[in-house]
Amino acid sequence: MFDLGLTELLVIGVVALIVVGPKDLPVMFRNVGRFVGKAKGMAREFSSAMNDAADESGVRDVAKGLKAATNPVGTAMDGVREAAQDMAKSIDPTKSIDPTAFKPGTETGKMAVERALEAKKIQASTARAAAERKAREAAEALKHAEAAEAAVEAAPEQPSGADAPAQESEAKP
């Protein structure tokens, strides 16, 4: 707000110490702190009142409408993203059903517990299958890398362009 650095604050503190004196300085800083707190509270209250007035007058709805008009693709993607998140929340069986919400002795409670256990088993087996698939792919990639390294080491060294004419001239006599 005021953009005061450490040196400016130090100068203000020294001047306050000289003008007010060491005896009354803590009281003055306490009063300044209260004043700053009241000013921040008034600013917060003013900001929230302005936001409430904007909500009541429909300014935010107009702003959303303008945003949608200027960027229809982004607005459509926001709608798709929200729909996908809602669907993901509704599909997750472990989060949508709380087995402890039902009475323990009822059939509904028993079924909820069974479904939650089955969902956890499915998640565990899916995680295991994914881990095994990743391990298998890593092993295959390692085999390919080793084969490529072996092919590079087994390839005969070809003479460079500068050495080739010298070898041909030596072979002629």
Sequential pLDDT tens for the chain (173 residues) = 567 788 988 898 888 889 888 888 889 889 989 999 999 999 999 999 988 887 788 777 787 777 777 777 776 777 778 887 777 776 655 555 565 667 777 888 788 788 888 888 998 898 899 889 999 998 998 898 899 888 888 877 665 555 555 554 454 44
Alpha-carbon span 68 to 75, nearest angstrom: 6
- Single pTM value for the model: 0.32
- Grouping H, G, I as helix, E, B as strand and the rest as coil, residue 71 is coil
Predicted pLDDT of residue 36: 92
Residue type, 63: A
Predicted pLDDT of residue 105: 76
Predicted pLDDT of residue 103: 72
The string of pLDDT tens digits covering residues 22-52 is 888 889 889 989 999 999 999 999 999 988 8
Q: What DSSP state is assigned to residue 106?
A: S
Q: What DSSP state is assigned to residue 99?
A: G
Alpha-carbon span 151 to 78, nearest angstrom: 51
Alpha-carbon span 165 to 173, nearest angstrom: 14
Q: Give percent of the chain with pLDDT exceeding 70.
A: 81
